[in-house]
Amino acid sequence: MAKRSFANKRVILTGASSGIGWYIASMLVRAGAYVVITGRRAERLEDLRRSFGNPSKRLIAVPGDISDPQHRRKLIDTAVQQLGGIDIVINNAGVGAIGNFESASEERLRGVFEVDFFGATELTRLALPYLTKGDEPAVCVVSSVLGHRAVPAKSEYCAAKFALRGWSESLRVELKPKGIDVVSISPSTTDSEFFDSLVETDPAQKSRSIGKQPAERVAKSVVSALRRRKRDMVLSAGGKALVWLGRLAPNFTDRMLMQYAT
């Protein structure tokens, strides 16, 4: 099958104000796409837009909270009214939390799910009527290695990413007859501002991980997976090792994670 072209594609991209999303937006614009970008920090979106011209005709900034149903509707309406339709939706926005589940509030769990899971699923639901008419349409989900193998002290985040992965697998089969690709990308820990805005997390809590991937490298993998029509990719050698170790030796992996967490 021929590689997907991004020339004149109409894209909605969430979580674009920093990190992975910032680089994805930049790469897509350079490849000739028109991109509706969103994120909570309006000034960051404007900086990105201005970096391609003043004003850039290929970047449309719509700041807001992806967990807000009205904002999701606004994103769809903006793409349809200003671009004439939607070809690709990239669900990149995400938040996390650190700490034991036992001591956490219900609000922390719901806060993570509202952004990481419902933000993606409900935006996609609104976009589907337009994607069915799109040019080489696709839904891309930026998930996590922790949606394949959970770790302690991140139960809310792991649960949301597991849910997102299950939804993506089901949606992939449902949409295949309509010609809509569903691409799932699972990075490991990424060097970004992700850990600066954790949900209901004590500032003393720190993420324990081995190594970080550069955000630009992850973004390149996302764009490449869309171009090459991949279905599911786990990024980084460490991420792949954790996934396979968890499958082949789950009890050993549990013991290893218990020691590492303490």
Catalogue the active-site residues: 157
The tokens describing 33, both together, are 């796409």
Q: What is the distance between the alpha carbons of residues 169 and 162, in angstroms, rounded to a whole number?
A: 11
Does residue 211 contact residue 238 with C-beta atoms inside 8 Å?
Answer: yes
Show the 3-state SS of 89-133: EEECCCCCCCCCHHHCCHHHHHHHHHHHHHHHHHHHHHHHHHHCC
Does residue 85 contact residue 79 with C-beta atoms inside 8 Å?
Answer: yes
**Taking the C-alpha atoms of 150, 180, 63 and 29 in order, what is their torsion angle to the nearest 10 degrees?**
110
Q: What is the distance between the alpha carbons of residues 219 and 143, in angstroms, rounded to a whole number?
A: 13
Within 8 A by CB and 6+ apart from 98, the residues are: 153, 154, 198, 201, 202, 205, 206, 207
Give the count of beta carbons closer than 10 Å to the beta carbon of residue 95.
23
The SS3 assignment for 214 reads strand
Does residue 181 contact residue 6 with C-beta atoms inside 8 Å?
Answer: no
* CA atoms within 13 Å, Cβ hemisphere of 246: 15
Q: What is the DSSP letter of 5?
A: P
